[in-house]
Amino acid sequence: MSTRRFDLIAFDWDGTLFDSTAIITQSIQAAVRDVGGREPSREQASYVIGMGLMQALAHAAPDVPPEKYPELGARYRHHYASRADELNLFEGVLPLLADLKARQHWLAVATGKSRRGLDDCLRSVPLQGVFDDSRTADETAGKPHPLMLQELMAVWGVPPERTLMIGDTTHDLLMAQNAGCPSVGVAYGAHHHAGFEAHGPLFVAHTVRELHDWLLANG
């Protein structure tokens, strides 16, 4: 019988595995400027990371009228794509994932990215075959709605108490809370960890190394 505590471990992507917070934030700011909206502050722009794209942009640019949302989304995608070659996994993520796979955890991604955007990332050679499943905001409900996790748990037959959600935003942790799943917060991404406590994470990791060590000891 397995002695591990979690059968299914779901990761957020941007800001948790992928070092993209600054570029997403700056792309949101540039997109809002492009359509004539009031540029959000860095804190306002980074707060929406993890939400579905249009939900995030609408929240970050409340003065932009809905009829401009398609243009706003297109400008965001333009700015993000223009800097795609600057994006990388955080150092230490590949060894972390390899150790979890070796321990026979099922690994999933639950992200606010689009399916196309996530698939582009997962085509990277080091990530081939690493993740067993994934859900994106454009194919199910966006965070903090629990549907992403509920769908993953249903597919793999894992109950909430044996499913762990790991993320860098309050949206991730609230999604886990709404799904009845335990969570771990990471403090090196989009949101300041001071906001995590309300959602009861088991642990807050300040580095990938801390996350790795905690999962090996407690996963």
Q: Give residue-wise pLDDT tens across range 135-177.
A: 999 999 989 999 999 999 999 999 999 999 999 999 999 999 9
What was the pLDDT predicted at 167?
A: 96
pLDDT digits (tens, 9 = 90+) for 95-134: 999 999 999 999 999 999 889 889 988 887 688 889 999 9
pLDDT digits (tens, 9 = 90+) for 13-52: 998 999 888 898 999 999 999 999 999 999 898 888 878 7
pLDDT digits (tens, 9 = 90+) for 50-100: 787 778 888 889 999 999 999 998 999 899 889 888 888 999 999 999 999
**For the chain, the helix, strand and coil percentages under 3-state DSSP, each to the nearest 5:** 50, 15, 35
Cis (ω within 30 of 0) for the bond into 144?
Answer: yes
What was the pLDDT predicted at 4?
A: 53
Model's pTM, two decimal places?
0.86
Number of residues assigned to the chain: 219
Give the burial string for 26-60 (b: 16+ CB within 10 Å, else e): bbbbbbbebbebeebeeebbbbbbbbbbbbbbbeb
Per-residue pLDDT band at 190 (split at 50, 70, 90):
confident
Cα(140)–Cα(147) distance, integer angstroms: 7
Cα(117)–Cα(28) distance, integer angstroms: 16
Q: Which of 217, 216, 17 is nearest to 100 (CA)?
A: 216
Structure-token match 């793999």, residue found: 156
